[in-house]
């Protein structure tokens, strides 16, 4: 809000010069206010543009005039200074119904009502699909409260326009008085959806309907995900979506003889654990300070096998990650380990550790991040759900590191996926080992 005020003042000075700031208190007449208000309501000009043109000290002044104009029956009222006496209050109560009648009869109000109704009803539906009677009836109810008009009058205005979807009074009252079936049949599910949504949102970002459907299924609810989606939209609950940002790259050129062929060919899935592993390094930039995460993800259950968090993306980080992975996973002969062409993965020590265990090394093509799409996908999920837009939550890199560790544990043991048959990565891994 402060930035908007500063921008407004800068534009005001550009148009009227610095002298506009030296103006003392100005009294605005009734005619002056009415002219400015009509430019906005009937002339389709923006409040900001009109306020700048008139040299008002702030656009909030014009907004207040418009609000007062509507509240007083579309009449400009110049308030007198001083405290109201009881007689004036009594006269005002008597005149309120009369002012309402004048408001409805004024041509400005009628024009505004038609414009508002046409706009709201015209925005319903889409080019390919006509709006339902329920949607139209809901819009009519909202217009009824906003404009203070009778339902009959609103429907007459709608039906008089051939370009708008029509509705009869009987249709409207049928929808308006119809019992909400969701409140009858899904009240307990809606309550549980709200609890799950708030629980996950408080820990990470708002979950989508698929995640909530998985949790409901695990708790024994027999409900379709389309129904969950509809109920969430009805309760104004939406999942968090954010664009991915550019990933960290450690590529510094090809070391002769160290580049390996792509053995994966974007066929990321593996039938059993420890058949295909993927790794990469991603960067977290927290107010100029950087943290680097180097994990290994399994192609079978999409679980994080091992990971290392460091302040520097050096060889030690990658080698420590390998040590942790090899401690908990034996007999890796024949495993395909896929990476990009980062300098760490071309290093002699790294390639030696893989070779002595019979691990085949695979590399993406030069500058082709989709070749390592499984790892890139995990980084996108991780940062969307616990980092992007939430940087203010972390006071230091130590707090961020702890949050990453907690999230990886949550990702492995609690976060379900459609592709894993609504199981968590660890559950799917264990099931695959038994099978």
User: In this structure, what are the phi and psi dihedrals at residue 226, rounded to the nearest 5 degrees?
Assistant: -65, -35
CB 341 within 8 A of CB 261: no
Instruction: Choose among 425, 385, 429: nearest CA to 407.
Output: 385
pLDDT digits (tens, 9 = 90+) for 152-190: 888 888 888 888 888 888 888 887 777 667 776 788 888
Q: Phi/psi of residue 286, each to 5°?
A: -110, 100
Tokens of 58: 């702030």
Query: Pick from 325, 332, 324: which is nearest to 357 by CA?
Result: 332
| pLDDT for residue 84 is more than 60 | no
Per-residue model confidence (pLDDT) at position 405: 95
pTM of the model: 0.57
Give the pLDDT score at 117: 85
Q: What is the pLDDT of residue 179?
A: 64
Helix 209-218 × helix 225-234 angle, to 10°: 120
What is the spatial distance between Cα 62 and Cα 60, in angstroms, rounded to a whole number? 5
DSSP type of residue 85:
P
Averaged pLDDT of the chain: 83
pLDDT tens digit string along 302-360? 999 999 999 999 999 999 999 999 998 888 899 999 999 888 999 999 999 999 999 99
Predicted local confidence at residue 412, as pLDDT: 94
**Of the candidate ranges 3-17, 218-232, 403-417, the one whose mean pLDDT is the lowest:** 3-17
Give just the sign of the alpha carbon dihedral 131, 135, 141, 145: negative
Q: What end-to-end distance do the CA atoms of the chain give, in Å?
A: 59
Compute how many other C-beta atoms are within 10 angstroms of the C-beta atom of residue 8. Answer: 18
Q: Which residues contact 41 (CB under 8 A, 6 or more apart)?
A: 66, 108, 112
- Report CA Rg, the chain: 32
């Amino acid at each position: 809000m402060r930035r908007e005020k500063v921008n407004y003042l800068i534009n005001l000075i550009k148009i009227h010069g610095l002298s506009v700031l030296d103006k003392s208190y100005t009294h605005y007449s009734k005619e002056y206010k009415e002219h400015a208000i009509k430019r906005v309501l009937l002339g389709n000009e923006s409040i900001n543009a009109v306020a700048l043109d008139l040299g008002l000290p702030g656009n909030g002044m014009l907004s207040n005039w418009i609000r007062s104009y509507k509240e007083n029956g579309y009449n400009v009222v110049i308030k007198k200074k001083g405290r109201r006496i009881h007689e004036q209050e009594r006269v005002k109560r008597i005149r309120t119904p009369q002012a309402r009648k004048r408001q409805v009869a004024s041509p400005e109000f009628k024009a505004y009502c038609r414009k508002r109704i046409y706009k709201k009803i015209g925005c319903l539906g889409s080019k390919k699909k006509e709006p339902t009677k329920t949607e139209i009836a809901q819009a009519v109810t909202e217009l009824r409260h906003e404009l203070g008009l009778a339902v009959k009058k609103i429907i007459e205005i709608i039906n008089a326009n051939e370009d708008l979807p029509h509705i009869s009074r009987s249709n409207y009252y049928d929808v308006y008085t119809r019992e909400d079936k969701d409140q009858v049949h899904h009240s307990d599910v809606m309550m549980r959806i709200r609890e799950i949504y708030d629980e996950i949102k408080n820990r990470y970002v708002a979950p989508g309907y698929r995640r909530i459907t998985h949790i409901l299924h695990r708790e024994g609810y027999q409900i379709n995900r389309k129904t969950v989606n509809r109920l969430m939209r009805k309760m104004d609950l939406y999942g968090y979506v954010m664009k991915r940002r550019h990933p960290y790259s450690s590529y510094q050129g090809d070391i002769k003889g160290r580049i390996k062929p792509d053995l994966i060919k974007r066929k990321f899935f593996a039938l059993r654990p420890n058949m295909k592993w993927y790794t990469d390094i991603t960067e977290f930039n927290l107010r100029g300070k950087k943290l680097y995460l180097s994990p290994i993800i399994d192609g079978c259950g999409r679980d994080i096998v091992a990971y290392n968090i460091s302040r520097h993306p050096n060889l030690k980080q990658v080698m420590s990650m390998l040590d942790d992975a090899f401690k908990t996973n034996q007999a890796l002969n024949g495993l395909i380990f896929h990476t990009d062409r980062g300098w760490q993965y071309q290093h002699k020590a790294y390639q030696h550790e893989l070779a002595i265990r019979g691990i085949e090394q695979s590399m993406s093509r030069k500058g082709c991040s989709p070749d390592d799409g499984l790892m890139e996908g995990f980084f996108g999920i991780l940062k969307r759900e616990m980092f992007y837009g939430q940087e203010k939550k972390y006071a230091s890199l130590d707090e961020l590191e702890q949050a990453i560790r907690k999230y990886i544990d949550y990702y492995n043991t609690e976060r379900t996926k459609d592709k894993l048959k609504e199981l968590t990565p660890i559950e799917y891994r264990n099931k695959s080992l038994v099978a």
